[in-house]
């Protein structure tokens, strides 16, 4: 896994599932992070090969609830991101997925109360010894690259010092979100503070924050000196942001996302959530399209809404033949 000069899809809860990761890759993303999944949840799962879909599924034991789904097509670029606050539990969870992904990443930047109250995400930023324990445990016991994603600390020098400590654990790369824990998405990313980190480290630094056009990738590289650049909201709004040929109409992107959700049998709640995020940026959920998405109960409903009924029937018939 090479982390230099890469365009990276950021980890996004309920968005970064298999269809969206493949969508981003289709348009040019080199590395695609899955949504953060908590270690407690993964260790209650088992690995299953899904012959009908051609996927590997991490499924809650005793159920058909798919927690993480991947496929050979993304094997060399998908990063499994995990939320954790315990080294041995992190290892136990990572061992379940590591054979099917390109790398494992530890979330050390999520500012949401759920993560922080559980000692995960941004709560780790103030616990460098625990960070060291988690990362070194994963590094020593797994054959895949280990990385982590942090936020900026209150003092820029503290961020640099933490980044240096992280580098000493032997991680392959460090992603830095250019905002601090109290910051909101509307607050501008502090690229100059990411630049301080990039200048201090020898491992690749992945800069994250305020990337909304393809040209921003190079602009952020130039300003920060980072090896690679990661995008979140800009990719949700139009995943073709990764294309060097320019964005394609978001209507086409939505339809392609729906097709991929059908093909990979994506969870309907996840699919609706992502569509609503797309719609909210360009339009309103109170308009006919948004209301129709909200009312949709199945992928078949969404196929009808976006004019993909024939594709839905084709995929469904193909699966029926495989099963019989």
Question: For 277-316, how does the pLDDT look when each residue is reduced to its tens digit (9 = 90+)?
Answer: 999 999 999 999 999 999 999 999 999 999 999 999 999 9
Domain end, chosen from 212, 237, 262, is at 237
Are 226 and 141 contained in the same domain? yes
Q: What positions carry a catalytic annotation?
A: 110
Confidence of residue 120 (pLDDT cuts 50, 70, 90): confident
Residue 243 included in any domain: no
pTM score > 0.85 for this model?
yes
CA distances for 219 relative to 78, 180, 184, 269, angstroms: 25, 21, 22, 35
Residue that is last in its domain, among 237, 266, 299: 237
Please indicate, yes or no, whether residues 85 and 174 belong to a single structural domain of this protein: yes
Domain membership of residue 314 as a residue range: 250-323
Share of the chain above pLDDT 90, in %: 91
| Confidence category of residue 270, pLDDT binned at 50, 70, 90 | very high
Q: Cα–Cα–Cα angle for 173, 76, 102, nearest 5°?
A: 45
Q: Taking residues 105-130, what's their average pLDDT?
A: 89
Does 83 lie in the same domain as 40? Answer: yes
Categorize the per-residue pLDDT at 261 as very low, low, confident or very high, splitting at 50, 70 and 90.
very high
Question: Of 237, 265, 294, which one is at a domain's C-terminal end?
Answer: 237
Residue 147 lies in a domain: yes
Residue 111 has pLDDT above 90, yes or no: no
Q: What is the pLDDT of residue 324?
A: 72
**What's the pLDDT tens digit per position in 225-237?**
999 999 999 999 9
């Amino acid at each position: 896994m090479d982390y230099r000069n890469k365009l990276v899809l950021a980890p996004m809860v309920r968005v970064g599932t298999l269809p969206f990761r493949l969508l981003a890759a289709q348009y040019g993303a080199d590395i695609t992070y899955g949504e953060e999944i908590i270690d407690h949840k993964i260790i209650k799962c088992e690995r299953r090969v899904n012959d009908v879909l051609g996927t590997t599924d991490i499924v809650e034991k005793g159920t058909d609830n798919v927690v993480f789904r991947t496929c050979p097509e993304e094997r060399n670029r998908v990063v499994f991101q995990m939320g954790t606050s315990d080294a041995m539990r992190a290892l136990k969870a990572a061992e379940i997925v590591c054979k099917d992904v390109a790398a494992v990443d530890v979330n050390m930047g999520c500012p949401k109360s759920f993560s922080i109250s559980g000692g995960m995400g941004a709560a780790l930023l103030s616990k460098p010894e625990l960070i060291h324990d988690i990362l070194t445990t994963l590094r020593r016991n797994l054959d895949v690259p280990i990385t982590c994603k942090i936020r900026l600390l209150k003092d820029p020098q503290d961020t640099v010092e933490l980044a240096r400590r992280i580098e000493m654990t032997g991680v392959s790369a460090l992603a830095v979100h250019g905002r601090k824990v109290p910051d909101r998405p509307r607050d501008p990313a502090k690229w100059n503070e990411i630049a301080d980190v990039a200048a201090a480290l020898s491992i690749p630094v992945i800069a994250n924050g305020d990337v909304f056009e393809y040209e921003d990738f190079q602009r952020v590289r130039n300003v920060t000196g980072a090896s690679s650049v990661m995008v979140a909201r800009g990719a949700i709004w139009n995943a073709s942001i990764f294309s060097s040929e320019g964005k394609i109409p978001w209507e086409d992107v939505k339809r392609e996302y729906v097709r991929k959700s059908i093909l990979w049998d994506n969870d309907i709640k996840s699919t609706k959530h992502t569509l609503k995020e797309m719609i909210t940026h360009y339009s309103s959920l109170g308009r006919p399209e948004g209301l129709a998405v909200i009312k949709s109960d199945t992928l078949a409903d969404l196929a009808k809404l976006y004019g993909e009924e024939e594709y839905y029937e084709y995929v469904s018939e193909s699966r029926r033949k495989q099963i019989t």
